[in-house]
Amino acid sequence: MIDVPAGLAAAQEKYNKEAGRAFVAALPDLTAAFLDRWELRVTGTPMHGVSALVLPVDRADGTPAVLKLQLRDHETDGEPAALRRWNGDGAVRLLAHDEPTGTMLLERLDASRMLAHRPDVHEGVLVIARLLARLHATPAPDGMRRLGDIARSMLERTPAVLDRVPDPAARRLVADCAAAVREVADEPGDRLLHWDLHDENVLAADRAPWLAIDPKPLAGDPGFDLWPALANNFDPDDIAWRFDAMTDVLGLDRARARAWTYGRLLQNCLWKTEDGRPLDENDLEIARRLRGRGGGRTR
């Protein structure tokens, strides 16, 4: 019998309420069923984030793997299709998948060697940029949620949210982000994006120095994938360097990449305001520091 970690149960209660409680209640039986179905043996301590239980296991032939069980939603539904499309090129390899529950069996990477453990933040940003270049080389499969739909929804919701932002300077900044998104919304792109590639979602492996895990994939413009590396290990004086370095590695048009990065900031602002929370000052500072990072192609 698997004990559900208290941190996972608390996160599910906080973010998913009744659906989260039902998911946590079903986890022990669900886990047991997949251990039996895929002939797996638990070989380590359960791990978890906000949304998933991850168990180190061995397959019947002794191959190490991890069993990932998570609550299905619009962000996680595309993960198996994305991993299947990447097929291990820059990302963890999918070994098996159960469509009804979203349960996955994944290649086991080295969780003790996480990019976040490396002290050189600049090295980490460049690692992420190079991984994104590999991931973005792949067009998104049919059925993937699309940035164009997300952008239209954000722009429709922006006027009501602006009315709820009390600080005039912050309100102008959010409006500027929306204006930038409006200029590029008709060309949202078709690349397969990770959406959440920060240094805790990059692990080492024997077959590759670094691989991405835990995508929340969508089809869109690569500029929409830069924000996590700008916001992680936040340093306002480093934002311009990170943005320029990533757009250099990815060969992006800086003005367009800045517009889609503003889209991520707008997305955050909409979520926070609609939930009744204050805007994040770090998000606003990223927007301020990106002013003037336009221009032509970076290579």
pLDDT averages per 10-residue partition of the chain, 299 residues: 88 91 94 97 91 95 97 88 98 97 97 95 98 98 96 98 97 97 98 97 97 97 98 97 98 97 98 96 96 61
Three-class SS of residue 281? helix
* Whole-prediction pTM: 0.94
Smallest Cα–Cα separation from 230: which of 121, 111, 157, 71? 121
- Active-site residue identified among 89, 196, 238, 248: 196
Contact 68, 53 (CB under 8 A): yes
| Structure-token pair, residue 210 | 């670094």
For tokens 């998948």, the residue is 97
Q: What is the CA radius of gyration of the chain?
A: 20
Smallest Cα–Cα separation from 285: which of 219, 217, 238, 222? 238
**Residue 196: active-site member:** yes
Smallest Cα–Cα separation from 217: which of 177, 187, 190, 256? 190
Contact 125, 242 (CB under 8 A): yes
Task: Please measure the distance between the N-terminal and C-terminal CA atoms of the chain and give it in whole angstroms.
Answer: 55
Smallest Cα–Cα separation from 214: which of 228, 202, 230? 202
The pLDDT assigned to 73 comes to 84
Contact 106, 95 (CB under 8 A): yes
